[in-house]
Structure 1
């Protein structure tokens, strides 16, 4: 029986990884999503806005500038709604996450944090945001965090949910959780280890280090430092940077992202099987046939 379970487990993991809308936690884990949603609805303020362009690049904007784009309860709910919308955007290829008014995000709105003071409240919020951000990381879209201004606490965690991080010259990423007497709880610590390694992550978290663009670039937290700190110009730079990686048919870009997710999260045998299945969705397709017809011009 044990051997049978071991053999079937990887294929189950594949289904879990690519089933749209699947959550990490449910009632089996003591997580009651509808109850959490009712609680979060009690903390209004700000919005999460999504603009989808015909180019296949979306812009997700955290909009609560009076509080440095801190997440209110309603914004957390709206983030989940936008993630669901992106899951169903079949023409999409990439998404940029940014904050309004040249600031990324300062994390959670303290009004909500103060009201949700029990360990049970903290665990429920943790599971809700881990569900949301894990679904975001698994989107078949190449994602970029555009860090303008400061990304603090939960805002820093959100940057780790993106495939890449671009920073403007005067920006900063800082995991301030230790100074608040807590640890990252939206999946930020686990993803940070994956991005920069365990030793560097321990320094960043343990020291609540301020990562300016140069420092972030040197440890692998940032992928590039943009030239402009101007809000509009930096968005344009980020769009141009992302465009080089999403140039191509949506079905190909989305399959590429799915295959990378598989390689990152699954056992090797299962990832290879999934790569084979994804190939079957594009081999002999329009993009493939057009490339062959060009007779190798893609090599130039």
Structure 2
């Protein structure tokens, strides 16, 4: 009887864990038809989203459309989803740095795409597509950090909120300019911003369309640290060093910790506890655990 209950409970926990990676909030039951959206986005071809996976377990995701300050074209939105899927399957990965090419993070959406997708129906479909993509990104079992150089504006600012941490370089700026465009954040930015800085501060930031330099962003808790250098190469080196403190150890442990935190953030208490229990079962008695116990045992003699 007890074994049966445990088996059922484990299945329930694994089912609850599924939304943490690989699945999206919206599907056809919500009126979302992904293939139709993709066909429309393929028309806008500037730029690329590039992924470099290093032996250290750190990935570098680069938004690369410098001619338009790394604005997201339709193809870049599609490539971002492709890279997220690739990262979901990168079992050796532990950390991820998101940056923009040529010392600028991102100026948001490419206006050509915005103008062409001008109906409310288009706007809602694009909203669901990007919310799906960035939610899957947020649930990656990697410790992610946005390296904000230059401007992170509009949709670019929203992307930073999907990362676990944010670093800024001197002279950089984050700005949610949606109000000035006659819009609200549509890539999940409002929901994530509230989680990061609270509802009162989020309301000020969004309704004021404030220019948040590194000092202001640090003061309200939007960013975690201001780096020393604004140089593209040096700031990336600093970001790597900053991230290293959180990804020391075997990938399976880092990834399990991130999954546990994600479930605690998104699930009800009982479901999060069940998820944590199932994750314990994947690492307890594993190589890293046994090695650490043996090492501690030797040091105590």
1:26, CA displacement in angstroms? Answer: 1.1
**Residue pair 1:64, 1:70 contacting (<8 A) in 2 also:** yes
Question: Is the Cα–Cα contact under 8 Å of residues 14 and 275 in structure 2 kept in the other structure?
Answer: no
Separation of aligned partners in 2, 1:67 and 1:97: 18
Partner of 1:284: 285
Aligned pair in 2 of structure 1 residues 32, 205: CA closer, same or farther (>3 Å)? same
Q: Please name the residue that 2:206 is paired with.
A: 205
Output the CA distance in 2 between the equivalents of 1:193 and 1:298. Answer: 45
Name segments (4+ residues, structure 1) moved above 4 Å: 10-13, 296-299
For residues 60 and 298 of structure 1, do their structure 2 counterparts lie closer, same or farther at Cα, with a shift above 3 Å needed? farther
Deviation at residue 293 of structure 1 after TM alignment? 1.2
TM-score in terms of structure 2 length: 0.94
C-alpha root-mean-square deviation of aligned residues, in Å?
A: 1.6
- 1:142 equivalent in structure 2: 143
- Structure 2 Cα separation of the partners of residues 204 and 258 of structure 1: 29
Q: Report how far residue 81 of structure 1 moved.
A: 0.2
Q: Which residue of 2 aligns with 1:274?
A: 275
Secondary structure at the counterpart of residue 294 of structure 1? helix
Instruction: Work out the CA distance in 2 between the residues paired with 1:155 and 1:297.
Output: 50
Tell me, in whole angstroms, the C-alpha distance in 2 between the residues paired with 1:270 and 1:39: 38
Q: Is the 8 A contact 1:291 1:298 kept in 2?
A: no
Task: Identify which of 16, 24, 42 aligns with 1:14.
Answer: 16
How many residues were matched structurally? 290
Distance 2:293 2:119 in 1: 61
Can you list the C-alpha shifts for 1:162-185, whole angstroms capped at 9, x where unaligned?
000000011000000000000000
User: What are the within-5 Å matches in structure 2 for residues 1-300 of structure 1?
Assistant: 14-18=16-20, 20-295=21-296
TM-score, normalisation: structure 1 = 0.94
Q: Deviations over 1:217-240 (max 9, x none)?
A: 111000000000000000000000
The Cα shift of 1:297 comes to: 8.3
What's the CA shift for 1:17? 2.1
The answer as to whether partners of 1:13 and 1:266 remain within 8 angstroms in 2 is: no
8 Å CA contact 2:179, 2:209 repeated in 1 = yes
Deviations 1:129-185 (A, max 9, x none): 000000000000000000000000000000000000000011000000000000000
1:247 is paired with a residue whose SS is coil
Distance between the aligned counterparts of 1:160 and 1:13, measured in 2?
27
| Post-superposition offset of 1:27 | 1.1
Q: Is the 8 A contact 2:283 2:289 kept in 1?
A: yes
